[in-house]
Amino acid sequence: MSGHHTTQGSPFAPHTATDTEAMLDAVGVETEAELFDIPDSVRFDGEFGIEPRSERAIRAEVAQTLEKNDDLVELLGRGHYSHYVPSLVDHLSQRSEFLTSYTQYQPEVTQGFLQVLFEYQSLLVELTGLGVANCSMYDAATALGEAATLADRLRQTSGTRVLVPEHLADGRREVLANYVGGTDLTVEEYPMDDGNVDVEALGGALDDSAVMVYAENPTVRGCVEESLETIGDLAHDNDALFCLGSDPVSLALLQEPASVGADVVVGAADVLGLPTSYGMGMGLFATREEYVRQVPGRLVGASTDDTGRRTYTLTLQTREQHIRRERATSNICTNQAWVALRAAIHASSLGPDGLADLAKEAVTDAQALADRVTEVVGVKAPVHDRHHVREFVAHTDQPAPAVAADLEDEGYAVHVLGEHHIQLNANALGENEVDEFVDALAEVAR
Amino acid sequence: MNYDQARWTDDDERYEPLLSEKHTAPADLDDAPLPDELTRDSLELPDLSEPELARHYTRLSEMNYGVDSGPYPLGSCTMKYNPKFTEDVAAIEAGAVHPDRSPESVQGNLELLYDLQDYLGRIGGMDAVTLQPPAGAAGEFTGVLVAKAYHEHNGDERSEIIVPESAHGTNFASAALAGFDVVSLPGGDDGRVDLDALEAALSEDTALLMLTNPNTLGLFERDIEEISEMVHDAGGLLYYDGANLNALLGRARPGDMGFDIMHYNVHKTFATPHGGGGPGAGPVGVVDELAPFLPKPQVEKRDGTYDLFDPEHSIGKVHGSLGNWLVLVKAYAYIARLGDPGLSDASAKAVLNANYLATQIEYEVPYGPFHHEFVASAGDQDAADVAKRMLDYGVHPPTTKWPEIVGEALMTEPTEIENKTTLDQLADAFNAVANEDQDALAAAPERTAARRIDQTGAARNLRLSWQALDDE
């Protein structure tokens, strides 16, 4: 079969009939089928029943399928955010030399991507204040899981308990449970007090059996955490690692993690570079320089080439699975490099003030929306008397599931947290959309 | 073929300068809408205009090599052409929704995922498929957790996973991450599983045997049915590493060979772009008996409506959400484009290309008959040097020095996308290098953006950020 000229075969296999003949000849067989050394008993003679379609038909088909989604204004957050992604990001990240390249195992011919990843690492070093950031993890949840196994490797003798906040996204909690499943670690929750860490309770829960304390800033409910230094001190007093969850937009404004004693920072780095993509993400992972040999995933370092010029290359690969196998620091191989490229371009295009402004707006937008919705009869917001980034929890006199369902009928998606709590992310609303949303909420919340 | 990679040189010290060397500025944090004690003191970041950035990243892209640049026969990596239209399909905005949307409100996304699960199930001969794992290694981890949960559910404590010595490093690491002891299985003289060694390795502790088929030498495990019987008789399960599935499309299915669990590398077999290292996706297929253990949530279809449900004995989650959506959409579009005839032709041409290329090169290929890839030996030459020199001929070199069963290995997988002319050029590159002396090899590469890079120096004098460079 000659693929690209007919409807038969793969359109991406460029063999002409003449070439195929010549190649079969050279190999010394008459048909391609002879090349398959598969016992008859396990040969597949059936059909998949997948009809090939044209490019045009598939584009139309998928567009039609996805149009079945309700067109809702999303006030959803809890770890997944949609900041506007400039056109520059799409156009540059789509350059074939970037998009269609593999991992940089031949650095001389992949300096471009290596430099991008080096710059990405550097941006995170600046934002976290920590000495090392890796090339990416899959998402915030797997980054948290990797942080726990890092803690296990660093301080194996001193403890087995990982302490996480009562308020935590389900996905992060469940992925963490699986990542520690192969270790002696156990995961325990500590309570929150009005949206922030209950430091007294945390202190009471801590002793030298703790190996890691995880906290978030902002929290999953959007609260700015006010006791970071105390949390860090508590962790360190008990010989535990302090792991902080955040994201690169919030970090442009909130306390620098290193300044409050964070040993590891994890989070959703995809808040830059990607719009919400049904949960596809990119995990931020940064830590102190002294732990660099225990870091999971790829690291790009600077070196020199034979001309003496500065170059970049993957380094400390002896940590990784392709060399160290079952003693590797992680099983990760394929990561989210292309998303890291997009995040780096996005951050660069915003620049220092642009990034800081985005964070400031996330604070003022949340405040402004809370001020508006709390005027609605039957709604009080924010539930937690804290500063907020992007989002906040609101109380509804009516049952929250009913309010959310009614809002969905009005064209809005919100989180339901409990019987009378909904969570609203202001970030997604355009200026004109605030009034409309508040009107809709007023209709359904009474 | 002649080749010179673009090389932007700033001076004797550096190529394209770092963003931080162009222009940085402090962020204005003065009018922060938060109390001082809750904000950071300073933030210094690159501060460049859009035209400056467009040029920076365009230059960097020119100093990078992708499948669209030239042949990329990296063994085990399946560097196929990534059809452009799949990018446009993935960019359809209606699908770019928040992962916490109600199932009723995202029927379109769920339908596409359901259809992709169905496609993958048919292609692999599996009964149920999860799309959640975000990469091949994550798929392995998922499969291992499913096996663990299955055994535990049956009150069966099993602590070992058997992995052939020549397997992908991720197999070992994924098994270890889930807390298993890894039993490394030595290969037989013919490069395949040695049944006696397998017999010796199997025990009542065996939870799983992880196999790649064709294996990393490109050889089909002819004894797969016997292997399957042995593993199952010992009470273990059989895992299929999908890295080499591109060899078998439409010819054989893991499910028909006795595999209980498999992962698919959609960034290999189904042509989604590798993106400089990711993202990929590593869906996992299982037989009926294991379906209740799959990650949550799963997509189901009832009376024409799609919904999410948690399998009865689910292992929980391996990704914070539903996986790498954009990658999955591209894989769906690719499979739909090829359909039955295209998928089977892709494998036929991938296997033909590997076999043809092997006849055209002077390096010895010790094992066969191979399928979509072969492992040649560089003989007296250092495979790493061979790779560097091949770069000068405008081709990406094969995977080197692995699997170790072949000395100075050149693991070569041209995929189906190359025509005869390109394969001949690739063979010319192999053969030119085969006939060069050590001096020429040691001096390579000369025509790439950077010359030979000091790897040892990078590890010895760690500088992982521009801040670290500034501290020097």
- Residues B281 and B245 both lie in one domain: yes
Searching chain A, which residue's CA lies closest to the CA of residue B467? A122
Alpha-carbon distance of B337 to B147, in angstroms, equals 34
Is B73 part of a structural domain of the chain? Answer: no
DSSP B227-244: HHHHHHHTT-EEEEEETT
Task: Judge whether B350 lies within some domain.
Answer: no
Q: Does A311 share its domain with A413?
A: no
Final residue in a domain of this structure, among A8, A31, A63: A63
- Looking only at the bridges linking them, the beta strands covering A210-216 and A241-246 are parallel
Residue B258 and residue B111 in one domain: yes
A211: tokens are 């190996």
Strand partners, B400: B410
Residue B196, class by beta-carbon neighbours within 10 Å (0-12 exposed, 13-18 middle, 19+ buried)?
Answer: exposed
Q: Within 10 Å of residue B425's Cβ, how many Cβ atoms?
A: 16
Q: Which of A282, A315, A344 is the last residue of a domain?
A: A344
Could you tell me if residue B132 is inside a domain?
yes
A337 and A358 co-located in one domain: no
Alpha-carbon torsion B466, B468, B470, B472, what sign? negative
Q: Do A184 and A164 belong to one domain? A: yes
Both A299 and A166 in one domain: the answer is yes
Residues in chain B closer than 8 A to A251 (CB atoms): 40
In this structure, how many other beta carbons lie within 10 angstroms of the beta carbon of residue A46?
A: 12
Pair (B150, B238) in one structural domain:
yes
Are residues B138 and B35 located together in one domain of the fold? no
State which residue of chain B sits closest to A135, comparing Cα positions.
B277
Judge if B27 and B140 occupy the same domain: no
Whether residue B69 and residue A172 make contact (CB cut-off 8 A), yes or no, is no
How many domains does the structure of chain B reveal?
2
Specify whether A180 is located in the same domain as A266: yes
CATH number where B105 lies: 3.40.640.10
Residue A368 lies in a domain: yes
What pLDDT shows up at residue B100?
97
A1 part of a folded domain: no
A10 within a domain of the structure (yes/no)? no
Whether A307 and A325 share a structural domain: yes
Q: Is residue A283 part of a domain?
A: yes
| B209, β-bridge pairs | B162, B238
Q: Which two tokens stand for residue A156?
A: 């194996």
User: Measured at the alpha carbon of residue A287, what is the angle toward residues A282 and A288, in degrees to the nearest 5?
Assistant: 165
pTM above 0.95, yes or no: yes
Long-range contacts of residues A35-40, Cβ cutoff 8 Å, at least 24 apart: A35/B348, A35/B351, A35/B352, A35/B355, A35/B369, A35/B371, A36/B220, A36/B251, A36/B252, A36/B351, A36/B371, A37/B219, A37/B220, A37/B222, A37/B369, A37/B371, A38/B220, A38/B248, A38/B251, A38/B252, A39/B222, A39/B224, A39/B225
pLDDT at residue A1 in the model: 42
> Digits of tens for pLDDT over chain B (472 positions)?
789 999 999 999 999 999 999 999 999 999 999 999 999 999 999 999 999 999 999 999 999 999 999 999 999 999 999 999 999 999 999 999 999 999 999 999 999 999 999 999 999 999 999 999 999 999 999 999 999 999 999 999 999 999 999 999 999 999 999 999 999 999 999 999 999 999 999 999 999 999 999 999 999 999 999 999 999 999 999 999 999 999 999 999 999 999 999 999 999 999 999 999 999 999 999 999 999 999 999 999 999 999 999 999 999 999 999 999 999 999 999 999 999 999 999 999 999 999 999 999 999 999 999 999 999 999 999 999 999 999 999 999 999 999 999 999 999 999 999 999 999 999 999 999 999 999 999 999 999 999 999 999 999 999 999 999 988 7
Which of A444, A298, A292 has the alpha carbon at shortest distance from A377? Answer: A444
Phi, psi dihedral angles at A127 (to 5 degrees): -70, -35
Q: Which of A326, A338, A342 is nearest to A275 (CA)?
A: A342
Q: Does B451 reside within a domain?
A: no
Question: Is residue B462 included in any domain, yes or no?
Answer: no
Same domain, A261 and A410: no
- The answer as to whether B378 is a domain residue is no
- Which run of H or of E encompasses B420? helix B420-434
CA distance linking residue A392 with residue A77, whole number of Å: 10
State how far the Cα of A322 lies from the Cα of A325, in Å rounded to an integer.
6
For A440, the domain range is 73-83+352-445
Residues of the domain holding B141: 84-337
Contact B61 A112 (CB under 8 A): yes
User: Which residues of chain B from 338 to 397 reach within 8 Å of chain A, CB to CB?
Assistant: 338-343, 345-346, 348-349, 351-353, 355-356, 359-360, 369, 371, 387-388, 391, 396-397
Q: What is the ipTM of this complex?
A: 0.98
CATH code of A424's domain: 3.90.1150.10
Strands of the A132-133 sheet, one edge to the other: A132-133, A283-287, A264-268, A241-246, A210-216, A161-165, A186-190
Of A142, A309, A415, the CB nearest to B15: A309
Question: Residues A32, A128: one domain?
Answer: no
Answer with the one of A284, A319, A344 that is the final residue of a domain.
A344
Q: Is A79 helix (H, G, I), strand (E, B) or coil?
A: coil
Is the same domain home to A366 and A282? no
- Is residue B277 included in any domain, yes or no? yes
* B98 and B231 share one domain: yes
Residues A280 and A356 in one domain: no
For B348, nearest residue in chain A (alpha carbons): A32
In a shared domain, residues B33 and B113: no
Is residue A3 in a domain?
no
Does B373 fall in a domain?
A: no
Which residues have a Cβ under 8 Å from the Cβ of B324 and sit 6 or more positions away?
A138, A280, B134, B135, B279, B280, B281
| CA distance to A128, A255, A372, A423, per residue, from A218 (Å) | 14, 10, 22, 14
Task: Retrieve residue A335's tokens.
Answer: 């990561």
Same domain, B98 and B202: yes
Same domain, B105 and B166: yes
Whether residues B298 and B207 fall in one domain: yes
Task: Tell me, rounded to whole angstroms, the distance of Cα A15 from its chain centroid.
Answer: 41
Residue A323's pLDDT is: 87
Question: pLDDT at position B472, please?
Answer: 77
Return the residue matching tokens 């892209």: B61
Let me know whether B53 and B141 are in one domain: no
Domain identity same for B171 and B41:
no
Is the same domain home to A42 and A99? no
Is the same domain home to A45 and A129? no
Distance CA B364, CA B413 (A): 15
Give the mean pLDDT per block of 10 residues along chain A (446 residues).
58 96 98 97 97 98 98 97 96 98 98 98 98 98 98 80 98 98 96 98 96 98 98 96 98 98 98 97 97 96 98 94 90 97 98 98 97 97 98 98 98 97 93 93 95
Q: For position A155, what pLDDT does the model report?
A: 62
Q: Which of chain A's residues have a Cβ under 8 Å away from the Cβ of B343?
A: 10, 48, 50
Count CB atoms within 10 A of the CB of residue A85.
18
What Cα–Cα distance (Å) separates residue A184 from each residue in A326, B177, B345?
17, 12, 49
Residue of A nearest to B353 (CA): A23
A294 interface with B at CB cutoff 8 Å: no
